[in-house]
């Protein structure tokens, strides 16, 4: 079962000596300690307390209790031979009121995490914003309020000036397409707002914040490697009919192009999606210049592909995703299609921009149902997913496409947003009643592979 690391076609060395290997997590999904040591309330703390928002009524008050168990978990990262650890900073743990006074207990916690990583020879990679906006700011409009650019820049300043002496790898914002789309258009993620107006404002302010934050980081930590991360899918039209092909182009603009293109100085993809012209009305003088930044790397996060069909009844995009469960394909717990070539396709797609310096896969992984039997979690489906995806990353690299690293999502089972604890993505199983950790077969495979 674990001899796979000897596979001559999938060997760590084939990726080269400089390839970065890691594992990714996020504060809200892991830490718990929701009200401890001065932490303030985030939009996710508030959202999870609302009825009917999270599967099984789960919340993340305790989550994986990483706040108390960070040493045990960093020891596990070490045991799995993983040299790079990506985690995020909870905004309200370091700034309980969003801005103003810094909570020294919050700073101490992240210093402990960083220092323990370094002690174990593990390189820390920080995501500054992984979706847990302070509720005090949401009460003032959150991402729809242009002031967010200043609020966010101050948060970046606090992170950079406290941790930048030891942390050299930074990601400014995680998956802006998801937190603006799910949080401000569809209302299925925090803060649960719905509508095109709030969505377009959130999008534009996220772009401005990403750039303002990156500039602040550069100023405080001149030798930092600065990136930001984007969700991306491989998109295919449902049929060869022109209307489906055009629908796929529109979906692609929303899903894959909306954030990278302004950053590269190409502006929003308004040609494919005219509703984005609404952003022009929100723009202020000087914004065009403040939408671009020369990032050191772009993080791509891929889980699946999407099949897109024309749909005149779906406003703005006139396209809909054909659900994977209707397509007779293998599904994960998230009901996403298992389709490893998608990661190859997105690497290729982002390479086509030409002027991206480095590309890291900052997330890739899968949720499957796991069971603990006699102390063993034999997750063969996740193991295969991992191998098949790595094979596709290797294919891209071998063909000469730029891809500089790969981070698995995620270390342990954790709080999967609206899906609560139902969707397990970890290399390590958690029994949430006891907080006991058990390395899954996939985790053992990754450890052997990285040895
Ligand atoms: C992307 C997000 O960044 C992460 O928080 C989430 O858990 C994974 N995708 C899986 O859905």
Q: What CATH number corresponds to the domain at position 76?
A: 3.20.20.80
Q: Where are the alpha helices (DSSP H) in 57-129?
A: 66-79, 91-94, 104-119
Residue 308 pLDDT more than 90? yes
Model pLDDT, residue 111: 99
CA 115 – CA 166 distance, rounded (Å): 8
Q: What percent of the chain has pLDDT over 90?
A: 98
295, 227 contact by CB (below 8 A): yes
Kindly give, in sequence order, each residue whose CB lies less than 8 Å from that of residue 113, ignoring residues fewer than 6 positions away: 70, 74, 87, 124
The residue whose CA is least distant from atom 6 of ligand 1 is 416
Q: b/e map of 17-40 (b: 16 or more CB within 10 Å)?
A: eebbbbbbbbbbbbbbbbeeeebb
User: Cα of 241 to ligand 1 centre, how many Å?
Assistant: 33
The whole-chain average pLDDT of the chain stands at 97
pLDDT band at 5 (very low <50, low <70, confident <90, very high): very low
350-389 residue pLDDT tens: 999 999 999 999 999 999 999 999 999 999 999 999 999 9
Which residue of 409, 413, 427 sits with most ligand 1 atoms within 8 Å of its CB, as the best mutation to test the pocket? Answer: 409
Model pLDDT, residue 8: 85
The residue whose CA is least distant from atom 11 of ligand 1 is 416
Regarding the beta carbon of 413 and ligand 1, being less than 6 Å apart is answered no
Model pLDDT, residue 6: 62
The pLDDT of 209-232, averaged and rounded, is 98
10 Å CB burial of residue 66 (0-12, 13-18, 19+) is: buried
Residue 186 pLDDT more than 70? yes
CA 282 – CA 149 distance, rounded (Å): 14
347-359 residue pLDDT tens: 999 999 999 999 9
The pLDDT of 327-356, averaged and rounded, is 98
pLDDT band at 1 (very low <50, low <70, confident <90, very high): very low
Q: Tell if the pTM clears 0.85, that is, is over it.
A: yes
Catalytic residues: 175, 363
**Tally of domains in the chain:** 1
94-137 residue pLDDT tens: 999 999 999 999 999 999 999 999 999 999 999 999 999 999 99
Q: Residue 418's domain spans which residues?
A: 2-450
Run of H or E residues at 321:
strand 319-321
């Amino acid at each position: 079962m674990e001899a796979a690391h000897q596979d001559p076609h999938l060997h760590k060395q084939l990726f080269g000596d400089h390839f970065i290997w890691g594992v990714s997590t996020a504060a809200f999904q892991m830490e718990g300690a929701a009200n401890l040591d001065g932490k303030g309330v985030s939009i996710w703390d508030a959202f999870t307390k609302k009825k009917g928002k999270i599967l099984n009524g789960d919340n993340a008050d305790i989550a994986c209790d990483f706040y108390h168990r960070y040493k045990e978990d960093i020891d596990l990262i070490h045991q799995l031979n993983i040299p790079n650890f990506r985690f995020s900073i909870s905004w309200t743990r370091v700034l309980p009121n969003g801005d103003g006074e810094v909570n020294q207990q919050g700073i101490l916690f992240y210093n402990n995490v960083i220092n323990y990583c370094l002690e174990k020879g593990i390189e820390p990679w920080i995501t500054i914003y992984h979706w847990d906006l302070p509720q005090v700011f949401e009460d003032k409009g959150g991402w729809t309020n242009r002031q967010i650019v200043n609020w966010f820049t101050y948060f970046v300043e606090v992170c950079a000036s406290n941790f930048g002496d030891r942390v050299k790898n930074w990601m400014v914002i995680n998956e802006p397409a998801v937190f603006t789309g799910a949080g401000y258009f569809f209302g299925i993620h925090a803060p649960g707002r719905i509508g095109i107006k709030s969505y377009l404002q959130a999008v534009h302010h996220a772009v401005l914040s990403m750039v303002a934050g990156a500039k602040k980081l550069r100023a405080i930590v001149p030798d930092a490697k600065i990136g930001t991360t984007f969700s991306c899918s491989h998109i295919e039209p449902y049929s060869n009919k022109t209307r489906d092909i055009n629908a796929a182009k529109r979906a692609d603009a929303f899903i894959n192009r909306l954030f990278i293109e302004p950053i590269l100085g190409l502006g929003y993809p308004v040609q494919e999606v005219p509703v984005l012209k609404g952003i022009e009305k929100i723009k202020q003088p000087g914004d065009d210049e403040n939408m671009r930044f020369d990032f050191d790397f772009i993080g791509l996060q891929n889980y699946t592909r999407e099949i897109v069909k024309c749909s005149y009844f779906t406003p703005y995009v006139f396209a809909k995703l054909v659900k994977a469960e209707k397509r007779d394909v293998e599904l994960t717990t998230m009901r996403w299609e298992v389709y490893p070539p998608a990661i190859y396709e997105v690497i290729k797609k982002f390479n086509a921009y030409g002027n991206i310096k480095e590309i890291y896969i900052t997330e890739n992984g899968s949720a499957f149902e796991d069971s603990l039997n006699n102390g063993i979690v034999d997750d063969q489906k996740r193991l295969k997913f991992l191998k098949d995806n790595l094979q596709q990353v290797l294919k891209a690299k071998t063909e000469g496409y730029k891809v500089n690293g790969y981070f698995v999502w995620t270390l342990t089972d954790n709080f999967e947003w609206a899906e609560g604890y139902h969707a397990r993505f970890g290399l390590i199983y958690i029994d949430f009643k006891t907080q006991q950790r058990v390395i899954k077969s996939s985790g053992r495979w990754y450890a052997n592979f990285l040895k």
